[in-house]
Amino acid sequence: METIYALSSAGGRAGVAVIRVSGPATAAAVEALTGAKSPRAREATLRKISDPETGAALDRGLVLWFEGPASFTGEDVAEFHIHGGRAVVAGVLGALGRLPGLRLAMAGEFTRRAFENGKLDLTEAEGLADLIDAETEAQRRQALRQMEGALGQLYESWRGRLIRILAYAEAEIDFADEELPGDLLWRLGPEIEALASEIQSHLDDGRRGERLRDGVEVAIVGPPNVGKSSLLNRLAGRDAAIVSDEAGTTRDVLEVRLDLGGVPVALADTAGLREAEGSVEKEGIRRGLAKAHSADLRLVMVAAKRGGGVEGDFELAQPGDLRIVNKTDVGGGVEGALPISALSGEGIEALLATLTERVTALFGASENPVITRARHREGLEACGRELERALAGLRDDRSGELVAEDLRLAARSLGRITGRVDVEDLLDVVFRDFCIGK
Ligand code: GDP
């Protein structure tokens, strides 16, 4: 196994930079750079750091030593907390690179080794990546929970139940004198059904975890000139969209990113929905409509007209969408719609509050572990299908072996999500505290 090293903190000038080393040659690397034996494990120790070839001083910094397996990767690990100057970092990285058995780590390699050494499962590793990418409070909470194992534990508990069911089925098949599908259905059917329905309700989550991770899409829709760009600018607090009173200026979809109550929101201004004149505008409208349909939420906007009535309608509004009447500085509102004036700013705070409430209720961090990636969803859907097939097999009196095979596949589908696919090993463990037949 090669020893890897990398700058673990962000590149560029900084007060402190952290260089991490992991692998069997770590102790030797610490000794080479500090001229002394590895410090006591888990204690920050101030050391002079020098280039082992020339003996030239590179920096003074803290050295931390973690003896495997009690480390992040499960291997011997050292961290050099040095000054974050470019030349200092380059000097230490260069010195490490010249040591035998050391090479620069590839992207994600420390975490990969942690996974391979059983320090974390795949969902925890994904949670760690999401935590580093988290930009809002709710994203951070969701990622932290996943990194701490909430999602992995849920899937492992399901897999454990499934393996017990499977073990039972296999024991019956092995020990029974004749095939016993009727008996198996009676004994195992309810448990399989319960598990399948728990997985299904976990899947029916409105994709809230995935939306929180990726960002919630909100589209402002309405005919030209009702003030969509003006509202976008108001909400963004800057000039992101071009406001003009010439109809059809918003040729494409403009987006600003907002943090609403900890939920990341991409707010898009769509091209005005009206008869297009030019082909460019037509394309803009097509994209705008597509965006309006695919968005998680819409702000459907009409505008009050001088002398009464409104321009536009709420036809595109779906349940949960917000209905808005703009330009209430020139005319009246509409029952059931939020009155605003993008021009004067009136009603904007109330609109933001309502939008924040809606977005956090639908997509905010949830107390229960949630699916955060399509990968999880695919694994769970496959598991659900295989459980259904096992149930159908029991009902149709198929052979116990076929049913057991479906259960085994279902357990594998769950195992693939956490990266634990060792059904056979687990079966042995389960069988040890099992006594059926004899
Ligand atoms: P969009 O085509 O829906 O994006 O509309 P714009 O934001 O480009 O606005 C169209 C015109 O309406 C511009 O002249 C804006 O200044 C004007 N406008 C926007 N909001 C308001 C408002 O609240 N009150 C009034 N009186 N005019 C507004």
pLDDT-derived band of residue 394, with 50, 70 and 90 as boundaries?
confident
Q: Distance from the CA of 325 to the center of ligand 1, in angstroms?
A: 12
Cβ–ligand 1 distance for 225 under 6 Å, the answer: yes
Angle at CA of residue 242, ends 240 and 247, nearest 5°:
145
Cβ–ligand 1 distance for 272 under 6 Å, the answer: yes
Cβ–ligand 1 distance for 245 under 6 Å, the answer: yes
Backbone phi and psi for residue 325, each to the nearest 5 degrees, phi listed first: -110, 120
pLDDT tens per residue across span 53-98: 999 999 999 999 999 999 999 999 999 999 999 999 999 999 999 9
pLDDT-derived band of residue 308, with 50, 70 and 90 as boundaries?
confident
pLDDT of 358: 95
pLDDT of 272: 61
Question: In the predicted model, what is the mean pLDDT of residues 32-37?
Answer: 96
Which is the closest atom of ligand 1 to the Cα of 245? 14
Cβ–ligand 1 distance for 242 under 6 Å, the answer: no
Is 165 in the same domain as 263?
no
Question: In the predicted model, what is the mean pLDDT of residues 153-168?
Answer: 93
Cβ–ligand 1 distance for 270 under 6 Å, the answer: no
Distance of alpha carbon 30 from alpha carbon 180, whole angstroms: 64
Contact at 8 Å (CB) between 299 and 221? yes
Is 338 in the same domain as 381?
no
User: Looking at residue 258, which CATH number applies to its domain?
Assistant: 3.40.50.300
What proportions of the chain, in percent to the nearest 5, are helix, strand and coil?
Answer: 45, 20, 35
Cβ–ligand 1 distance for 343 under 6 Å, the answer: yes
pLDDT-derived band of residue 438, with 50, 70 and 90 as boundaries?
very low
Contact at 8 Å (CB) between 181 and 403? yes
Distance of alpha carbon 112 from alpha carbon 130, whole angstroms: 15
Higher-scoring residue by pLDDT: 369, 292: 369
Going by C-alpha positions, the residue among 320, 314, 315, 316 that lies closest to residue 357 is 320
The total of structural domains in the chain comes to: 3
Show the domain range for 64: 3-116
Q: Distance from the CA of 95 to the center of ligand 1, in angstroms?
A: 62
Q: Can you tell me which residue has the tokens 């949960």?
A: 320
Cβ–ligand 1 distance for 229 under 6 Å, the answer: yes
DSSP tag of 242: -
Final residue in a domain of this structure, among 339, 363, 387: 363
Is 397 in the same domain as 355?
no
Alpha carbon distances (Å) from 90 to 6, 94, 107: 11, 6, 18
User: Looking at residue 48, which CATH number applies to its domain?
Assistant: 3.30.1360.120
pTM beyond 0.95, yes or no: no
Is 392 in the same domain as 338?
no
Please report whether residue 70 resides in a domain.
Answer: yes
Is 359 in the same domain as 269?
yes
pLDDT tens per residue across span 55-65: 999 999 999 99
Question: In the predicted model, what is the mean pLDDT of residues 346-365?
Answer: 93
The mean predicted confidence, pLDDT, of the chain is: 88
Distance of alpha carbon 432 from alpha carbon 438, whole angstroms: 13
Is 217 in the same domain as 272?
yes
Distance of alpha carbon 56 from alpha carbon 24, whole angstroms: 25
Distance of alpha carbon 429 from alpha carbon 427, whole angstroms: 5
Strands 102-104 and 57-66: unpaired
Q: Distance from the CA of 248 to the center of ligand 1, in angstroms?
A: 12
